[in-house]
């Protein structure tokens, strides 16, 4: 049993209502109209058609639900759009929405077809995905517009920054040196500095500048970073000496130390709500499966990443204890993705060990190249290319963060984070 909803931000989006749907229309302002429609379906297929501005949500994939439950989730998202004014995103290629396109010497770019094949308009934007990133999916659930990349923001603050900004950069990491062999990129520390350059413009765009502090405090900082510190640093022993200097536990401690410093820097700038995403099971991405020779997960790599994730979860507990005026939550990406790998059918997947676009073993030895023909049935693949999840997986991960249990988001989910004072 599956349910479909459609949302439109402009008045024109509600024209031509389809029969057979439960339609709910919410007028937030003269220009902002949310339109939700839910339809009972018998298929359990999970698809997304960006060209129709339509997302198919499956209420748990196995047990289904009902139209009221479906629309309740969406209504909550619409209501929270009024509570969460903006998202400020920091991270790597998992959430980069075009920043590296503007970096002349950057080698890590996704500015060519078939990247973006299933995104709005079907054109590449710089997202390392066939469609939406997990941040795009969170924007959908929160009723926010998709975020402009930092490199598109001018000194005059255009476009509007009041819905947030995406600072993520492909090949960037927690450590400044991570990914340096891939040319220009914004490390986490530079991304925080980039936010600082936008703050005056954000304040000037507010209708009431005195609400600036409240605006930042109600906004959410989303951090999705750390994968490159392993893939493009610690595991790349031919170019980096970090593995010779640190054992896996000590390297994870080093990362957490730097991560903490940047998180507290964001806190000092006025942000008070944080979603800190852990690193996924890197040993199971197509690239590392291909390197294993047998197509199996590289469990040694997963164990390394586990040290970082344990440290990040502990950091969340410490930050919440030390800063009662703020709220920090840990996104357990590792377990969420592992659940999809172990029980693919429950999530609508048929292929979890190979990329949809790429060449070689597990379609993970050569990255998705310009004009390469991707797989059919992209919504049934967990991975889009050698490193990155598909739109279908990203939507599921966003749902887990939005209203999931403590198994996947701790100590509270995004809905609960939104309602924190």
Name the stretches of the chain with pLDDT < 70.
1-82, 155-157
Residues forming a β-bridge with 23: 37
Q: What is the pLDDT of residue 49?
A: 32
The share of the chain scoring above pLDDT 90, in percent, equals 76
Looking at the domain 87-418, which fold is it?
Rossmann fold (3.40.50)
Predicted TM-score of the model (pTM): 0.83
Name the H helices within 143-277. Answer: 188-205, 212-218, 227-229, 242-245, 248-269
Distance CA 61, CA 46 (A): 9
Active centre residues (catalytic): 93, 385, 388
Q: What is the pLDDT of residues 164-193, one digit of tens each?
A: 999 999 999 999 999 999 999 999 999 999
Q: What is the pLDDT of residue 388?
A: 98
- Tokens for 384? 């889009």
Contact of 131 with 118, CB cutoff 8 Å: yes
Residue 175 buriedness (CB in 10 A; 0-12 / 13-18 / 19+): buried
Q: What is the pLDDT of residue 83?
A: 83
Q: What is the pLDDT of residue 186?
A: 98
Distance CA 191, CA 324 (A): 25
Among 260, 257, 256, 270, smallest CA distance to 221 is for 270
- Tokens for 55? 């997302």
Q: What is the pLDDT of residue 328?
A: 98
Q: What is the pLDDT of residue 155?
A: 60
- Tokens for 209? 């500048």
Q: What is the pLDDT of residue 72?
A: 52
Q: What is the pLDDT of residues 75-93, one digit of tens each?
A: 555 555 458 999 999 999 9
Q: What is the pLDDT of residues 317-374, one digit of tens each?
A: 999 999 999 999 999 999 999 999 999 999 999 999 999 999 999 989 888 999 999 9
Q: What is the pLDDT of residue 295?
A: 86
């Amino acid at each position: 049993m599956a349910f479909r909803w459609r949302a439109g931000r402009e008045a024109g989006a509600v024209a031509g209502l389809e029969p057979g749907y439960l339609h709910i229309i919410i007028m937030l302002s003269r220009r902002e109209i949310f339109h939700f429609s839910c339809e009972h379906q018998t298929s359990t297929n999970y698809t997304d058609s960006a060209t129709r501005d339509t997302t198919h949500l499956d209420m748990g994939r196995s047990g289904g639900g009902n139209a009221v439950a479906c629309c309740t989730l969406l209504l909550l998202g619409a209501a929270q759009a009024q509570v969460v004014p903006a998202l400020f995103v920091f991270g790597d290629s998992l959430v980069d929405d075009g920043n590296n396109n503007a970096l002349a010497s950057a080698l890590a770019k996704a500015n060519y077809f078939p990247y973006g094949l299933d995104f709005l308009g079907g054109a590449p934007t710089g997202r390392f995905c066939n469609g939406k990133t997990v941040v795009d999916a969170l924007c959908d659930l929160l009723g926010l517009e998709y975020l402009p990349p930092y490199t598109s923001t001018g000194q005059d603050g255009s476009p509007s920054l009041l819905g947030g900004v995406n600072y993520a950069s492909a090949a960037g990491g927690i450590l400044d040196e991570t990914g340096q062999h891939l040319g220009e990129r914004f490390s986490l520390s530079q991304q925080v500095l980039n936010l600082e350059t936008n703050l005056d413009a954000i304040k000037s765009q507010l209708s009431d500048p005195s609400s600036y502090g409240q605006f930042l405090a109600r906004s959410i900082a989303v951090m999705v970073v750390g994968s490159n510190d392993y893939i493009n640093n610690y595991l790349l022993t031919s170019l980096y000496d970090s593995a010779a200097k640190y054992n896996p536990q000590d390297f994870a401690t080093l990362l957490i130390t730097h991560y903490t410093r940047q998180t507290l820097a964001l806190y000092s700038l006025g942000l008070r709500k944080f979603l800190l995403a852990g690193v996924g099971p890197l040993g199971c991405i197509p690239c590392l499966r291909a390197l294993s020779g047998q197509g199996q997960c590289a469990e040694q790599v997963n164990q390394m990443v586990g040290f970082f994730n344990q440290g990040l979860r502990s950091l969340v507990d410490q930050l919440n204890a030390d800063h009662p005026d703020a709220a920090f939550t840990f996104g357990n990406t590792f377990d969420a993705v592992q659940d999809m790998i172990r029980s693919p059918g429950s999530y609508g997947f048929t292929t979890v060990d190979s990329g949809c676009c790429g060449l070689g073993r597990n379609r993970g030895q050569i990255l998705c190249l310009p004009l390469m023909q991707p797989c059919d049935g992209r919504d049934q693949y967990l991975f889009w290319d050698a490193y990155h999840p598909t739109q279908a997986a990203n939507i599921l991960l966003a749902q887990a963060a939005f209203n999931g249990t403590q198994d996947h988001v701790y100590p509270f989910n995004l809905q609960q984070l939104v309602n924190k004072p």
